[in-house]
Structure 1
Amino acid sequence: MPDTALPTETRVLGVSESAARRVAFLIEQEGNPNLMLRLTVSGGGCSGFQYGFTFDETATDEDHVFEKDGTKVVTDDASLDLLAGATLDYVEDLMGAAFQIKNPNATASCGCGNSFAV
């Protein structure tokens, strides 16, 4: 049976400088320098899948850790399949400020940007 897994070089998650700065600020506010931002994908939301953001101190053997400017973002293996090639960004504009996922795997997304379809 052929291997259908994505090549390792495409199973990456980018982190923008803006996102890294914001995560670092939030971690500083939490007062625990060991924290990482955990980004997950789960079933649900108005488009089929939804993003989740939490802080975590530990990464398991099944996790993938991506680092930008000393800030760590961790995601599990199953979520990375849906996030491969995506970029975590933090955007501030007149409408507000929020983390955004620029996900090339998403074929549709909801208006709030928190859920997507593949």
Structure 2
Amino acid sequence: MEQVVEITEAAVFHVKEMMSHNEEEGSFLRVAVNGGGCSGLTYGMGFESEKSEDDLLFIQHDLQILVSKEDAGILEGTQVDYKESLMGGGFTINNPNAIASCGCGTSFRTAKKAGTPADC
């Protein structure tokens, strides 16, 4: 299977920096979709020490990335980047499957999955 999520070199650099700071070297980066937010779905990223049977594993820039099979269709073609601005830096997520997002930019929905909206 092709890569579900593309992680840019800038994003990998900051993920690895966070792993080192939190003593998570050798962990997997999980990219996930959760219910909630104004539009129904939110993104999640975190570290995990083990891969489950329901996970797809991808390696980019020497970073091991997990995406659950359930989330793969929603995240197909998504790019995770890290951008710096005058206000600081942060991860940006560009998902071509998102058809709507909320004003705060942290919540979205797709044509196939609306999720469970919650107050922002």
- TM-score class normalised by the smaller sequence: 0.7 to 0.9
The one-letter amino acid paired with 2:61 is: D
Number of the residue aligned with 1:33: 25
Matches within 5 A, 1:1-118: 8-9=1-2, 12-118=4-110
- Superposition TM-score, scaled by structure 2 size: 0.82
Which letter does structure 1 place at the counterpart of 2:84? E
Stretches of 4+ aligned residues off by more than 6 angstroms: none
Post-superposition Cα deviations, 1:77-104, rounded to whole Å, max 9, x if no partner, equal 1111110011111111123321111100
Count of aligned pairs: 110
Is contact 1:47–1:110 with CA below 8 Å preserved after alignment? yes
For 1:32 and 1:113, the matched residues in 2 are separated by 28
Aligned partners of 1:82 and 1:57: how far apart in 2?
24
Look up the equivalent residue of 1:112 and give its one-letter code.
C
Q: Match for 1:37: what amino acid? A: L
Percent identity between matched residues is: 37
Q: CA RMSD in A?
A: 1.5
The superposition leaves residues 10-66 of structure 1 with CA deviations (integer Å, 9 ceiling, x where unpaired) of x62111111111111011111232212211101111111111122101111211122
Instruction: Report the TM-score, using the length of structure 1 for normalisation.
Output: 0.84
